[in-house]
Amino acid sequence: MAEATPNGIPAAGAGSLASSVPIEAVLFDIDGTLCDSDPLHHAAFQEMLLEIGYNNGVPIDDEFFINNIAGRSDVEAAQNLFPDWPLEKGLKFLEDKEAKYRSLAKERLEPVKGLAKVVQWVKDHGYKRAAVTNAPRINSELMISLLGLTDFFQAVIVGGECEKPKPAPFPYLKALKELQVSAEHTFIFEDSASGTRAGVAAGIPVVAVATRNPEKSLLDAGATLIIKDYEDPKLWSVLEEIDREEAKIKKVDA
> Which residue, of 65, 85, 108, is where some domain finishes?
108
Nearest to 206 by CA among 226, 188, 182: 188
- pLDDT for residue 38: 86
164, part of any domain? yes
Q: Do 95 and 206 fall within a single domain?
A: no
Nearest to 78 by CA among 53, 107, 98, 99: 98
Q: Do 97 and 173 fall within a single domain?
A: no
Q: Do 65 and 187 fall within a single domain?
A: no
Phi, psi of 48 (to 5 degrees): -75, -35
4, part of any domain? no
For residues 178 and 206, the answer to whether their CB atoms sit within 8 Å is: no
Establish whether the linkage from the previous residue to 167 is cis, with ω within 30° of 0.
yes
Residue 72: which domain range? 38-108
2, part of any domain? no
d(CA 32, CA 194): 12
Global pTM?
Answer: 0.86
Residues tagged active-site: 29, 31
For residues 193 and 213, the answer to whether their CB atoms sit within 8 Å is: yes
CATH of the domain at 170: 3.40.50.1000
pLDDT along the chain (254 residues), means of 10: 38 65 97 93 95 94 90 90 97 95 95 98 98 95 98 97 96 98 98 96 97 92 97 97 93 80
Phi, psi of 200 (to 5 degrees): -60, -40
d(CA 245, CA 227): 21
- pLDDT for residue 4: 39
Q: Give the dihedral sign, CA 26/32/37/42.
A: positive
Q: Do 23 and 130 fall within a single domain?
A: yes
d(CA 88, CA 71): 20
Q: Do 202 and 132 fall within a single domain?
A: yes
3-state helix, strand, coil in the chain (%, to 5): 50, 10, 35
d(CA 81, CA 225): 31
